[in-house]
Amino acid sequence: MEKNKYNILVLSDLKESNSRLLKSTISLTKKIDKNLHFFHVKKPIDVVKRDSQLSAFRTISEQHTLIRKKIGKLVDSVAKTHNIEIDHSYAFGNIKNEIGDYIAKNNPDIIVLGKRKSKPINLLGDSITEFVLKNHKGIVLIVNNDQAVETDQALILGILNSEFGFMENEFPQGFFTGAKDSLKTFSFAEKLNNVDVNIEANSTDFVFEHNDNTVQNLSNYLSKSSINLLLINRNNNKEIKQNNVKELDIKSMIDKLNVSLLISGYSN
């Protein structure tokens, strides 16, 4: 997947971690020619808490000013530090509807969400990660805010349930600039005794038996291997043809894996 320029949408909940979210996004996409857009949605019910119509209008006006200043301060600070242009906007309305409208109108190539404490981003109570995965057919980058990726930090890549060619076909190659040569692959098998597998310390191929502890075992190996970006193939999420094992739900991966995830676009 190579284009001259990629449109990248960063979805924001305006929490304190959003500065780390932006910095990690810039670091992970530093070699990609891109347009970066920062977008936030505010529920009207969280804005209008006064009884009279006049008070409600005044509150909305005040909130427009506050949100515009808050976003501007956050984005301008990161943009200046990293010498990059970042467009930004916000909307009042139903969060899923507004994000869905933005996706439909602007057709971003990559959507970025944040993740904290081993849970997907939760914009004001809504399961936005799941919504984005269902409604966006392009690439989704879920950034682990507990382990922000710095600009000068080397990428250590892992690939889940796919071959190396998957990297070249599904993602901009700028994601992998500066990554270590020794990529590691991870996969699941029905029974380990039916698979020819080597998990020596210097091995780059890891196979896990498919059971209730699979995700936790994978998480432990990711940490042990210092992986800071795991690639997941959405087009291979129903069945692992090689071993005839159903892949664990991507949402489970997002919830439990303490690492940034790069999820491929989805082809019908």
Q: What's the pTM value of the predicted model, to 2 decimals?
A: 0.84
Domain assignment of residue 152, yes or no: no
Identify the domain boundary among 146, 177, 212.
146
Of 202, 211, 165, 166, residue with least CA distance to 184:
202
Q: Among all chains, which residue has been given the structure tokens 């944040």?
A: 114
Residue 11 and residue 141 in one domain: yes
Q: How far apart are CA 156 and CA 138, in angstroms?
A: 23
How confident is the model over 36-46, as pLDDT tens digits?
A: 999 999 877 65
Looking at residue 196, its pLDDT comes to 44
Binned at pLDDT 50, 70 and 90, residue 239 comes out as: very low
Of 105, 128, 99, 87, residue with least CA distance to 41:
99
Q: Any idea which of 99-113, 138-152, 157-171 has the lowest mean pLDDT?
A: 157-171
Domain that holds residue 33: 6-146
Domain assignment of residue 37, yes or no: yes
Identify the domain boundary among 85, 116, 146.
146
**Cβ-contact 41, 91 below 8 angstroms:** yes
Q: How far apart are CA 52 and CA 29, in angstroms?
A: 47
Q: How far apart are CA 27 and CA 143, in angstroms?
A: 11
Using CA atoms, how far residue 113 sits from 17, 217, 237, in Å, is 11, 25, 20
Residue 126 and residue 166 in one domain: no
Q: How far apart are CA 201 and CA 215, in angstroms?
A: 20
Give percent of the chain with pLDDT exceeding 90. 28
Identify the domain boundary among 127, 146, 165.
146
Residue 79 and residue 168 in one domain: no
**Cβ-contact 149, 266 below 8 angstroms:** no
Consecutive H or E run containing 230: strand 229-232
Looking at residue 108, its pLDDT comes to 96
Domain assignment of residue 212, yes or no: yes
Domain assignment of residue 268, yes or no: no
How confident is the model over 167-219, as pLDDT tens digits?
A: 877 888 888 876 756 688 888 777 665 444 444 444 477 787 777 788 888 88
Q: How far apart are CA 89 and CA 144, in angstroms?
A: 23
Most confident of the ranges 105-109, 201-205, 222-226 = 105-109
Of 84, 135, 88, 79, residue with least CA distance to 111:
135
The pLDDT of residue 259 is above 60: yes
